[in-house]
Amino acid sequence: MFQKLEDVEKRYDELTEKISNPEIIAQQNEWKKLMKEHAGLEAIVTKYREYKKLKNNLEEARGMLEDKELRELAEAEIEETKEKLPKIEEELKILLIPKDPNDDNNVICEIRAGAGGEEAALFAGTLFRMYSMYAERKHFKIEILNENETELGGYKEITFMVKGAGAYSRLKFESGVHRVQRVPDTESSGRIHTSTATVAVLPEVADVEIEINPADVKMEVFRASGAGGQHVNKTSSAVRLIHIPTGMVAECQTERSQVQNREYAMKLLRSRLYEIKQREQDEKLANERKSQVGSGDRSEKIRTYNYPQGRITDHRIGLSIYQMEDFLNGNLDEMIDNLIATDQAEKLKGEE
């Protein structure tokens, strides 16, 4: 572990020198890339230097034991330092886990109604409200990119961006199938229905990470429409982009400007293509395949919302929370913190 830490510190010092070099600063893309790497190493280097300082203090305190006047002070210093060192070592182990390079990125989130007809669409709306309220708690900003609303106020699908530092790190484990068990408003006999909605969480990626050849993209424009034909625009401002090599489609119709809709659709297309690339890479890594919470497979049933029992259960980590109203009002931190902790523990095992 300590050889790794020495290597990290050496790389950090190299980057510190490079990002101050005027020649590299002039190459903005390269400079931004190095700045991102430098920022990613800062926490671990700071903690490692704190550890080395404590180790040095420990040696100095041991050297003072021979001095009768300073012995008591030295013993107290040794005791205190011995308590701190193991805690810092554990923190360093966690910091050494390779960080997801997308953790600080904005998020593009897609929610689609699954099995269950209108009730599934209403549940998709419930999930969108839940994530919107969570974003508000975290001081993230939400921007709707595309929506297909139903007559009863649900969504067949809704795509939105969550903007804020660390948005992806908090939401990345939400990808998968969410299942609800409740009595729908549309059900007169009081029977409990089971419906599903699929959530996909994609990191927003920069042009330099995914290059798209303009010749490979076909653009179509159409008039935006809302639920039941409402909110129909008189101009063709909505944009649909088709990536010819993959057949991938991205739409945006929420902005009045065709230019802005195209910009958002391109962000969505880039993130979807990046997801395919990442999935291909992850399949090559055995540890990632075995990961309990890190697969992000959209077909995987990850969570059940049981209204009659007021229980939310995450099937990946076996955690149940019995505060349905609070959870649906955006208080997701307990669940998310446990998912992150489980993922870190699995990665630590993989490093051993």
Please indicate, yes or no, whether residues 135 and 162 belong to a single structural domain of this protein: yes
pLDDT at 72: 86
Residue 256, pLDDT above cutoff 80: no
CATH of the domain at 58: 1.20.58
Please indicate, yes or no, whether residues 52 and 183 belong to a single structural domain of this protein: no
CA distance 178 to 300: 9
Chain segment 30-74, per-residue pLDDT in tens? 898 899 889 888 888 999 899 899 898 888 888 888 888 888 888
| Domain tally, the chain | 2
Please indicate, yes or no, whether residues 21 and 161 belong to a single structural domain of this protein: no
- Residue 306 banded pLDDT, cuts 50, 70, 90: very high
Please indicate, yes or no, whether residues 84 and 112 belong to a single structural domain of this protein: no
- Which residues 6+ apart lie within 8 Å of 115 measured at CB? 194, 195, 196
Please indicate, yes or no, whether residues 55 and 165 belong to a single structural domain of this protein: no
Radius of gyration over every alpha carbon of the chain, rounded to an integer in angstroms:
25
The structure tokens listed for 318 are 């076996």
pLDDT at 287: 47
Helix H or strand E encompassing 220: strand 217-222
- Residue 296 banded pLDDT, cuts 50, 70, 90: low
Q: Which of 44, 69, 96 is the last residue of a domain?
A: 96
Average pLDDT over residues 181-198: 82
Please indicate, yes or no, whether residues 86 and 111 belong to a single structural domain of this protein: no
Average pLDDT over residues 274-297: 61
- What percent of the chain lies above the pLDDT cut of 70? 87
Q: Which residue has the higher pLDDT, 226 or 17?
A: 17
Residue 330, pLDDT above cutoff 50: yes
Please indicate, yes or no, whether residues 116 and 89 belong to a single structural domain of this protein: no
Average pLDDT over residues 7-22: 91
Please indicate, yes or no, whether residues 147 and 257 belong to a single structural domain of this protein: yes
Least confident of 13-17, 87-91, 120-124, 324-328: 87-91
Q: Which of 38, 62, 96 is the last residue of a domain?
A: 96
Please indicate, yes or no, whether residues 229 and 131 belong to a single structural domain of this protein: yes
- What percent of the chain lies above the pLDDT cut of 90? 37
Cβ neighbours around 302 below 10 Å, total: 23
Average pLDDT over residues 170-190: 85
Q: Which of 96, 114, 144 is the last residue of a domain?
A: 96
Chain segment 76-118, per-residue pLDDT in tens? 889 889 888 988 988 888 887 777 778 888 999 999 999 888 8
Please indicate, yes or no, whether residues 144 and 204 belong to a single structural domain of this protein: yes
- Residue 273 banded pLDDT, cuts 50, 70, 90: confident
The H-assigned helical ranges of the chain are 2-18, 22-25, 28-63, 71-96, 117-137, 167-171, 258-283, 286-290, 324-328, 333-351
Provide the residue range defining the domain that includes 352: 105-352
Using alpha carbons only, give the angle 253, 142, 229 rounded to the nearest 5 degrees.
30
Place of tokens 């920069």: 206
Please indicate, yes or no, whether residues 322 and 180 belong to a single structural domain of this protein: yes
pLDDT at 335: 96
Please indicate, yes or no, whether residues 286 and 352 belong to a single structural domain of this protein: yes
CATH of the domain at 327: 3.30.70.1660
For the entire predicted model, the pTM comes to 0.67
Residue 337, pLDDT above cutoff 80: yes
- Which residues 6+ apart lie within 8 Å of 60 measured at CB? none
